[in-house]
Each structure stands twice: as C-alpha cells, then as structure tokens.
Structure 1
C-alpha cells in the first residue's frame, strides 16, 4: 500500500480546537502516523546518540579535550531547545508541513557538513545548527498528536510513539559502534544525512496537514511572549514540563557521560559500550510498555510519580555502591537498566499532562516551550558532570541524583497541585 493512498484517511474535519479521540480512526492510518512521527522523532534522537561511541576517537582526531567534545553534544541540545521555541509557534501560524520539511532539509545538509569539520569549535557550531533543524521533527510531532488525539487516546499514542522513538537511543550507539568497525567517525554523519533524506520523503508523501487553516493562530512577537508567559504561569503545564526537563537532565547526564566512564574507568570497548547502552535503552522501552498497559487502570499522575521515585532510588543505590567500592560494569549496567525502566514511565506521562492541558490551536507553542525547557535545562545541567577534572563516575552519579531529586520536587510542588483538581 502506497503512502499517498492513505493520506486522505489522516485528514479530519473538526470543529475549532476539538481534537478527535482517535478511536474512530482506521487502524492502518494510526499505524502509519505512528511510523512517520516516530521516524521524525527518532532521527532527532539519532543526532545525539549515534556518535556517542566515537567520542574518544573524535577527541583524538580533532586534537581536542574530552570536555570539548562533550560540548558538541550540549551544542545540539541548545540548538534543539532554541529551535523548538522558534519552530513550534511557526507551526501554529503556518501549519505543520512546511516548517517540518524545511527543518528536515537543513538537518540533512548539516549532517553532511559534520563530515568535513576540522576543529572542535567548528564541529560545535555545525552541531548547534543541526540541533536547530532537528527540533522541527520533535516539536511538530508532538503538535500533530495534539491536533489529532485527546485524553487517554493521546497518552496511548504517545506510548506507541515513545516505543518507536526508544529504538533510536537503543540502536543508535549499537549502530554507531558497528560503523566504527568499517569506517571513520565521519561515516556516522553520512548515515544521519541518509536518515534525513528518508524522513523528508516520508513527510512529503505520507503526512498531510493536521492543523486546518481556520485553527491557525497568527501572533506578533509580543503576543508570543505573552503566550509563553501564560504557559509558564499555568501549573497544569509548567509542573509536568519542569518534571520532564529535570528528569531528562538526569537521563542525559548518563547519556553524555557514560561513554567516557565505561571506556576509561571500566575498560569497555566502543562496541561493549554500545551494547550496554542498547540494553539500558531496552529497559526504557519495557517501562514504556508497562505505562501503556496501566493506562485506564491508574491515573496519569500516579504513573508519573512511580517512575520518578523508582529512577531516583536507582541512582541513589548506584551512588551508594560507588562510595562503598562495590561497582563493576555488570553491576552498574543492572542499576542503570532499572533507572531507564523507570524513565519509561516518566516521559510519556509528563508530556501528556503538559500538552493536553492546552488547546489544539496552541499545541505548537506548548510543545515548543516543553521541548525548549527540556533540552535547555537537561543539556546545561548534564554538562556539569564534565566541568571539573573531566568526566568521572562520581561526577556522573552526583549530577544524576541531584537532577532526579529536583524533578521529583518539581512534581510535588507544582504538577500534583495543578492536576489534583
């Protein structure tokens, strides 16, 4: 069945700001929508995860310290944060397809530019632009879901989407490690460019516009600022958003630091690191599937709280093991697996609470602010693990514990109050 054949089925005729519940949509169209949005979001994840096994090689090739190579990851995070803040409101004004196609095109071009950089500084600049472009896939995917689904239907769709997106951080480092066996680290960015081209084709042929013209909102910069301030002041939105951002900082600290920790402190090879990373990401996918099974049986806020408490407890256990001198690569992997399992309960529920609290006409802006805070806070706090004396097991676990506790505190102070009504 061709992609174009199902395009009319994805269109909906809705009253303003009234998304469908998704129950009456043909199953094939839902599966196709999950696949397309999953590929778009996964490509953005690949931009951060695919080159992780190559960190030591890139540092040696560009004659740069480890901390500077880690900053290229932070550059992508900052780009993703700012890009969502720009592209989200644009998609509320122009529709979803046009900004998405432009973003994918720029992402593809910058992926190829990464292959020819000569310095770590230039690498960081190109990666920043790449992050700006990759933001289109992430922010618009969430907005399309809000255009199309509501309530538990949205939570179920986000769970399906996270399942597919979760394959990227699981398979990304595994693929990156294998690519290093057959070529230099530049080959990784050639693969990213090919993924960008594939995403462009999927959107062009298979993703119709989900935001009708009569629902689009045109705002001048002052109106946009006021709208963002309103979102920040809304506890129903800002509570789960801060919870998401701070828990992402915990997870991203592990993502950005464990390549160095596993290879330099535990003697793992790039391929072994990739395997461990994939195993731990499988934990997140399994947690996500548990979350999907609990939908309709347990309230969203309770599922989120269970995920937060489990993740923080796991990191606290890891710190205790490290201080007691009882760590090994197998033991650390086991504890991190449990932590990632718990994050599978955090991401879809925090995202659902934040996005569904807002009307469809402002879903792009809400998704943009959520993503901006997620990557700005997450990327900035995670970089603290490598600021003093390089990245170590101690610095990684301490930053993870502090950010995990902060996420739980944000949930307790704001999200619970906003959704307990």
Structure 2
C-alpha cells in the first residue's frame, strides 16, 4: 500500500469515526428532550389515570427539568476532574433505571420523584456531551458542531411525539417510559463500546467541593458567560412553556387528538432543526452574535403574536403559527449561545456547560406549571408566559451586547 493510499484510508476511517462520535453525542443530548417530548401527548390521559389535576401532572415535566438542571451542576465539574467517560456511563445507567421505575409508578407522587431522578441521569449525558464538543472545538467551529448536534437531536422531538402517540394508543402512557428505558439502555451499550475519552489526564481539573465552588464563583463573574446563559435560558424556557402548555391548549381547548397534536409538535421541531442547520451554514459568514440576536428577536416576536392571537380569539391556525415561530427561533439561539458562552472556558468546559444547562432547564421547569394553569383562563397563561420569557431574553441580550465589544467569533 502506498503512502498516499494509506493516508487516504486513515482519513476515511477518521471521518467515519467522527460521524459515529457525532451520532453518539447527538443521542446523548437527545435523552433529555426525549424524556419530555415522547410523553407530552399523553399528559391529559396520565392525569386522568392517576387522579391528578393538569398542573399536578405537569409537575412530572417540572421534576424532570429540575433534575436536568441540578444534575448538570454536579456532572460538569465531576467530568472536568475525572474525565468524561466514567461520569457519563454512570448517568446513563441512572437514567435507564429511573425510566423503568416510572413505567410502574402506582401514583403521581412516586412518578414525580423518579422523573426527577431520570432528569439527573439525563443531565450527565447532556452536559458531558456538550463538554466533549468544547474539548475539541472553539468559536465558529464549535457553533457549527453544535448545529450538527441539533440536526441529530432534532430527530427526537420530531419522531418522539409521533411514536409516543402511537404507543399511547396501543399500550398507554406507561409503555412510553418503558420504551425510553430501552432506548437509553441501547445508548449506554454503544457508549461503552464506541465513545472515546475526550479529556486527557493532564487537562483535568482538581476536584472536591471547595474547588467546585470556586470554579462556579469564577464563572459567574464572567459577565459574557452569564449574559449568554441567561439569554439562552429565557428562550429555552419559552419553548418548554409551549411543550408543557400546548397539549392542554390544543387537545382540551381546540379539540386536537393526541395524534394530531404529535404532528403539530413534529412540524414545529422540524422548524427548529431547519433553523439550526441554516445557522450552521451561515456562521462562517455571519457573526454568531447576529444569528443569536435574530433568534431572540424571533422568540420575542412570536410570543407577542401568540399573546395577541389568544387575547383576540383569532382561532387555531394563527395560534399554530405563533407556536411555530417561537419554537423555530430556538434553533438559532441554542448553538450560538452555547458556542459564545463556552468560548473562553476550555479549562472548565464541563462546569461552564453545566451553568448554561442549569439555567435553561431550571427556568424551563419553573415555566412549565405556570403555563398549565389555564382551567379558568383558557390559553391565556401559556401565551403570557411565552411572551414574557421571549421579551426578557431580548432585553437581556440587548443589555449584554451594549456592554461588550463587538467581535467576530
């Protein structure tokens, strides 16, 4: 074999390995959203079966989101100190076991508790996957890779509600949690065999509670990271207000079936993926901050439009358009906020990614039950929460951009 042929073969193997790693990281990032998206069409039926109210049933969403938020604060520094593989495998194992318990939970209280545990396991997968990207890429290259991750993970919110609605019609909501456990178990097996360690020993940070606390204090003093994290969190929370409130708004108020709702959900997710891919293609020619700004403006405008539609009783189709704009905007915000926020924190990529994730899932968890309090007010609370979060994100980003110099990333 000639040197040229050998070099070409090695390059081909490297590209193939890179694709495999991308798919694995995408599957890991997808576990968190998959925990929500797959069963939201069944929330009304779950509430009826367990004898709970809509808001109480939505606490299963909140518990998972809070678990995803808090778990990242532990997982990030742990992976900075111990490496990525060990904590990752432990987290996916916890996620799988918790999913099995959720499938047999006899009451809403136990379901809420283990949804929180499932969220913690998913947090390890999510934050470590993001840290793995930062181990290898920075700046525009990182923004492009995060966009590719959203292409992979975008299949989850497109397919999950469709499959969830199908499982719901055949076997009920418990089977959805069983399916999630099977999927995460398969991801765990693939990770064991094919996901390499991305953080060399010489790059690892000292662990311990005191060291972890000092890392977070230092990161929170970075005005730029904090600004991007908050902007990202408000837009992400607006999307989760939609995820939590829309099943009741569209199914109970507007009469859509679970299957029709899942189609609406999939179309909106497709818009998110398309926006993320457009961002990935544009980021080498357009400042990532401009792309982020476009997404935030879209989220705010979509939220305000949604509020007007609901307040004027304009009907179902304008409501669907408002939801679509809000969700699609997230595809521009997430990859660019992540790349910009993590850019200057390679030594503590896990902890910095944890702060980004903590903000988005904690705010999402708080927004979810607020969006569901609609028993006497129709869809108005959902619209108010989404619009308020979008406008807050816009104010936060505008404040950040005024206080930091404009630079190409």
* TM-score normalized by the length of structure 1: 0.91
Pair 1:391–1:204, CA change in 2 (3 A): farther
Say which is worse superposed, 235-244 or 336-345, in terms of deviation.
Answer: 336-345
Q: Please name the residue that 1:17 is paired with.
A: none
Whether 1:343 aligns to 2:338 is no
Q: Please name the residue that 1:372 is paired with.
A: 358
Q: Please state how far the C-alpha of 1:216 moved relative to its aligned partner.
A: 0.5
Q: Please name the residue that 1:302 is paired with.
A: 290
Deviations 1:386-411 (A, max 9, x none): 34747831110100010111111111
Q: Please name the residue that 2:93 is paired with.
A: 105
**Aligned to 2:154, what secondary structure does the other structure show?**
helix
Whole-Å separation in 2 of the counterparts to 1:26 and 1:344: 28
Which portions of structure 1, spanning 4 or more consecutive aligned residues, are displaced by more than 6 angstroms?
A: none
Pair 1:318–1:59, CA change in 2 (3 A): same
Q: Please name the residue that 1:53 is paired with.
A: 41
Q: Please state how far the C-alpha of 1:115 moved relative to its aligned partner.
A: 1.3
**Aligned to 1:26, what secondary structure does the other structure show?**
helix
Q: Please name the residue that 2:168 is paired with.
A: 180
Whole-Å separation in 1 of the counterparts to 2:402 and 2:43: 40
Q: Please name the residue that 1:29 is paired with.
A: 17
Whole-Å separation in 2 of the counterparts to 1:278 and 1:267: 18
**Aligned to 2:284, what secondary structure does the other structure show?**
coil
**Aligned to 1:268, what secondary structure does the other structure show?**
coil
Q: Please state how far the C-alpha of 1:413 moved relative to its aligned partner.
A: 1.4
Q: Please state how far the C-alpha of 1:169 moved relative to its aligned partner.
A: 1.3
Pair 1:170–1:391, CA change in 2 (3 A): farther
Structure 1, unmatched stretches of 5+, are: 1-8, 11-22
* 8 A contact 1:151–1:356 mirrored in 2: yes
Choose from 387, 392, 397 the match for 1:401: 387
* 8 A contact 2:52–2:108 mirrored in 1: yes
Whole-Å separation in 1 of the counterparts to 2:372 and 2:46: 17
Residues 381-420 of structure 1 aligned to structure 2 (within 5 Å): 381-387=367-373, 389=375, 392-414=378-400, 417-418=403-404, 420=406
Q: Please name the residue that 1:332 is paired with.
A: 319
**Aligned to 1:219, what secondary structure does the other structure show?**
coil
How many residue pairs get aligned? The number is 399
Deviations 1:15-48 (A, max 9, x none): xxxxxxxx99932222112100001111221111
**Aligned to 1:420, what secondary structure does the other structure show?**
coil
- Note the aligned Cα RMSD (angstroms): 1.9
Structure 2, unmatched stretches of 5+, are: 1-8
* 8 A contact 1:105–1:200 mirrored in 2: yes
Q: Please name the residue that 1:169 is paired with.
A: 157
Q: Please state how far the C-alpha of 1:357 moved relative to its aligned partner.
A: 2.4
Say which is worse superposed, 37-46 or 215-224, in terms of deviation.
Answer: 215-224
Q: Please name the residue that 1:85 is paired with.
A: 73
Whole-Å separation in 2 of the counterparts to 1:29 and 1:299: 30
Q: Please state how far the C-alpha of 1:239 moved relative to its aligned partner.
A: 0.9
Q: Please state how far the C-alpha of 1:344 moved relative to its aligned partner.
A: 1.0
Whether 1:230 aligns to 2:218 is yes
Pair 1:278–1:236, CA change in 2 (3 A): same
Q: Please name the residue that 1:3 is paired with.
A: none
Q: Please state how far the C-alpha of 1:417 moved relative to its aligned partner.
A: 2.9
Say which is worse superposed, 216-225 or 261-270, in terms of deviation.
Answer: 216-225
Whole-Å separation in 2 of the counterparts to 1:29 and 1:419: 38
Whole-Å separation in 2 of the counterparts to 1:184 and 1:341: 30
Whole-Å separation in 1 of the counterparts to 2:292 and 2:284: 14
* TM-score normalized by the length of structure 2: 0.94
Whole-Å separation in 1 of the counterparts to 2:335 and 2:200: 26
Say which is worse superposed, 379-388 or 156-165, in terms of deviation.
Answer: 379-388
**Aligned to 1:336, what secondary structure does the other structure show?**
helix
Whole-Å separation in 1 of the counterparts to 2:252 and 2:102: 25
Deviations 1:30-85 (A, max 9, x none): 21121000011112211111110111111111111111110110000110011000
